Structure formats: structure tokens, C-alpha cells
Structure 1
Amino acid sequence: MEVNRPNRAARRLKGKSDPLDAYQAAQSVLDGRTKSIPKAKDGPVECLRILRAGRTSALKARTAAINQIKGLLVSAPDKLRAKYRGPGTSAMIMALQRTRPSGHMADPEYVCLLTLKALATRCMSLAAEIAAADAALQEILDTYAPMLCDLPGVGTEVASQLLVTVADNPDRVENEAQFAALVGVAPIPASSGKTTRHRLSRGGDRNANHALYQVVLVRMASCQRTKDYVAKRTAAGKSKREIMRCLKRYAAREIYRQITNPQAAPNNTDLRQMRTTLGCTITTAARELGQWPSKISLLERGLLRNDALATSYRQWLSEQQLESRLDHQR
């Protein structure tokens, strides 16, 4: 059994020590107050957790190195500052990594450039380490949970974090409401008097909560269903914070169902064949649907999941086929 920390009030009254903690843990199990099941660390999700630990430290180290480079350029000699502060971060790091400093150790410009080159080399090495970790994470996800990334807004980073939160034994989370509480999106009543409202939960796994926040941000920017919902709730007088709280709750429900009962994404590979049979270009189809041609291309190749767009696209192609048949009969 997994035992939670003891009650704070009881701990203040009775004190705290290893024997007392052990006694209170055993007593909570005998009383039936402890029902949580510990995570199993014997499967691919544990591999995801280990890879994410290394990736997180590499990300922090790369961010620190980039900040050091920019900080040194602020007080660098005028020649270096004017040369390297103009390009973007990636271009600046690549340029610094290719430099060949020459001079003596008493020259501030030489020492500054030497240090900048070392930091840039460190950044490039950490970027390669992060890319390798991402590839390993994706390989595990493709084998263990290939359909989780089919959901809108769910990528490698989000999927791996949510799986780590659930662990190798998802049966420890008995229902969708428990999963919502686990990731910190279960609404908490905060009503008073005639005001009826709920507030955002501050509990649960904050890393999983941040992953759901990223999902909501992506959907608010690119998912038409989410955009319609945001417009509807905004017209009803809801604030952006309240709307995002509701969206995170809905996203948690959808992700939990996909983890426990995976559903494959709809097959849209026939859309391109229907379009080419009609002799219609992808630019024409994108213009009629009000989308970018690149988005239609990703949808046709199965690299993008957008059920609403796929339905609209299929309906439009069916209408074009019907019109073509009628014109042929005439």
C-alpha cells in the first residue's frame, strides 16, 4: 500500500519521528484510511520517466547556457556585440560555434570569444542530447501508446508526461473523475451567497496540469470546435481563466478515455484519391474550405487529425462528385 503523509494537526500534537511515522502509517492501513495503490515501475512508462528526467536537465542546462551567452554579449567589446547580437538565437549559436578565436589570454576580446565558443558548443551538444531523448520518447510512444498522439494538441512531450502521471498500472486510477483530480483539473466549489462558481484546483500533479494547459493553448489556436466553445462561453460572460479551466477538464476526460480505451484516428487516406478523381487541385479545395493548402495536405496524408475539417472536406468532395455526375448526365 502507498500511505500518504500523516495529518498535520495530529503530527503537531503527537510529534514526528521515524517510529511514530511508521506506527501512524500502519494504523492508517488498518483503519482503512489508505486506499491508494503505488505506481508500478516495471514497464515502458518507467522508461519514459527516466528519459524525461535526463531531457529536463538538458533543457535547463541549454537555457542557462543561452542566457549566459546573451549576458556576456551585453558587456562584450563593441566589435563582438555588433557582430553577434543581430542574428536570432539559433543562428548566433551556430556562428559562435564555428568561430576560431586567436590571441592571447590577456586580451579581453579573445577571452570573451573563447568563452562564447565554449558555451555555444555546449548548447549544440545539449540540443543533440535533447533530440536523441525526443526520438527515444517517440519510439516508446509508438509502441506503447500510438493512438494517444492522435488527439489534437497532444504531442510527444504531453503524452509522455501524462503517461508518467498515470504510471504502468493505469488501473490504479479507477475512473475519469479520479484522473481529473490527479492532474489537478477537478473543479473546486467556491460559491458564496448568491454567487455560484468553481475555481481551479491547485492540487494534483502540476507537471501533468501544465501538459493539459499546453493542450488547451494549442486547441484554442487551431481547433475550430474549441474556438466555437470559447466564443460561446465568452458571450455568456465567462472569463478566459474560467473558460480554460473548463477546457482542461474536458481535455482530461478525452485523454483518460484514450489512455484506458484507445480509439484509432479516422482514416482519411481516401480524400486525396477523391480529389484527384475530380481533377481538383489542393489549392482550390483549400480555398473552398477556408484553410491553408499545407493543412489540407497534412490531413490527406494522415499527418494531421482534425475530425471536423475531415468531415467538411469529405462532404464538399461528395457534393462536387454529385454535381459532376449531374453535369455528365446532362
Structure 2
Amino acid sequence: MRIRLAAALSAVAATALLISGCAGAGNPSASPSPSASSSCLLDAKPGKTSDAVKVEGEGKDLKVTVPSGTDVDAAASVERTIVKKGDGEEVKSGDLVSAQYRIVNAADNTVLDSSARQADDQLPVLLDPQQQSLFVVALGCQPLGSSVVMAVPGKMFGDGGKAVVVYAQSIKKLPTVATGKDVAPVDGMPGVKLAKDGAPEITIPKADPPTETKIAQLKQGDGPTVASGDQAIVQYRGVTWADGKEFDSSWKRGTPAQFPTTGVVAGFKKALEGQKVGSQVLVVIPPADGYGAQASGSIPANSTLVFVIDILGTVPAATPAQ
């Protein structure tokens, strides 16, 4: 469901302008991503405030400055100036891209968040309007490789909101399936067969389910390691052990999902943390590490859950750049 820009940006402001909001606690499907769409959330136009912003330097030396006297709050709406036009395909909602960015307080140029906290000054960005509205507006409807400056008046964040300026550049599209090396199956675990698009088909063995969480790698990635509290970007499919019926799937929604490792059930958290980007993980979660004796949506009470998870990216918890 498309949400209003003001509401979306308010959600970002409420989390100190981190690059994503929080998904619903304990359920990967609690904040489902919309299907990919070529439509623009807001095709913002340039204005005198966004045109005035200075971008200097490269890599980690890149600096964004709002000149003294520039009143971002005077703008009628969000303004976006294209600093450089890329030559790739158009970036749209639902895409997963690597990006360089800076988000600064328009009043004093304090850096609120920055991709410079990653060694290569790039972080994965899932262009989900429900969680990443700031970046959907900044990068959407422009060719891959474009860099932009976006001026956002404080009123877009609701009462008491502070104006910000965003610099962002889309670097490249990232895989939406696990790309790691195949790992031999583990005896006793459910069988997994991948469709041409990478979606997993899961076959439950004719046996009693395990009484503790079991994790097996299907593919071994070589990217960054998912740490506790990171925002994990994943594709996943979940079925119940009892009957093999699907209860949730990012594949069915048509785009990856993103949520904090601390915002999902214990078994799913165990399957994510410590894994490298590019890995595909199979996890069997007994009720104690799942939803226990409570039903959740289409999941019956006391269900053992089975997930296949493709780990596509991880975003460390943000800290203000120095």
C-alpha cells in the first residue's frame, strides 16, 4: 500500500533518519514490501534551495554543505537537483541498489547519517516506500548511477520537524538471490529445490520435527557478516513443518524484505546473525523459538516453522558520521 510522503518521512525522522524504519516485532511479514512499481513516489523537481547545496570531494572525503542563508524550510515542498545523470536503467520502487549517501541537518550541516560508516562508503538500499521513503524519493525515477541533492523542509516530518538535506548516488543494482557457493545438504533437514527465479520449494521429511532450532547453509556467501541489530535485507519463504503449507513469502510479494535482526522471532534471528551476505540458509524453528502456544496470522499455535532465507544485504546500526 502506498503511503503518504509526509507520513513516510516522519517515520524516518522518528528514528533519527536511519536508512530504514523498523518492521513489526517478531514477524517478517508484519511490514510487507509492496510489489515493484515503475511509478514515482514523488518526482521532486529542482529549486533554489536544492540548487544551492554544495557537494565537494569524493569517497569518504565527500562533503555536503548547505550555504549560510539557505532557508530549506522556505521551500513549498521537497526539492531535488540532479548533480549527475547516470547512464543505467531507471531505478524504481522495489529495487535493491548499493548507494553512497550523506544526510545532514540543514541548519548547521551536522551529519546525521552517512554511508561512510561502511569501509567502501557504500551501503545496500532497498527502495521500499514503506520503510525507505527518503531514498525512494531521492533515487527513484532516475537512471542508475545518478547522484542527487534533495532538500526536505522540516514540515515534511510533521510538527517540530527539522529540515534536512540528502545527497545520494545509486551505484549498482544488487542481486536479489543468494549468490554464494553451494553447500552439501544436511541429513534430516527439509529438502530445498530452487525455481528458475531462485524461489525455493521446500519438502518436509517424514519425521518428527526437531525440538531445538536447526540451521544449515545451502549457499556460503562471502559478503559482510550480519551482526545483531543490523537491518537484514532478505528473500525468504516460510512453511509449517506439519503440512508444508506456505504462510509467508517475499517471493510472492515480488520484492525483498528488510527488518532488524532484533525484530524477528528468536529462531529467525539465530539464522541471520553471523551469516555472510550472499548466503542461503535453511532453518527449522520449533515453537519455543517461534510463536509458541500462540497463533500468528495463518500460523497455528505450537507450529514448527521452516524458512529458506537468501541474505542479500546487511546495514549496520547507524551512528552519526564524524
Answer whether TM exceeds 0.5 for this pair. no
TM-score, normalising length: structure 1:
0.22
TM-score, normalising length: structure 2:
0.22
Of structures 1 and 2, the one scoring higher in RCO (CA 8 A, sep 6+) is 2
Question: Which has the larger share of helix?
Answer: 1
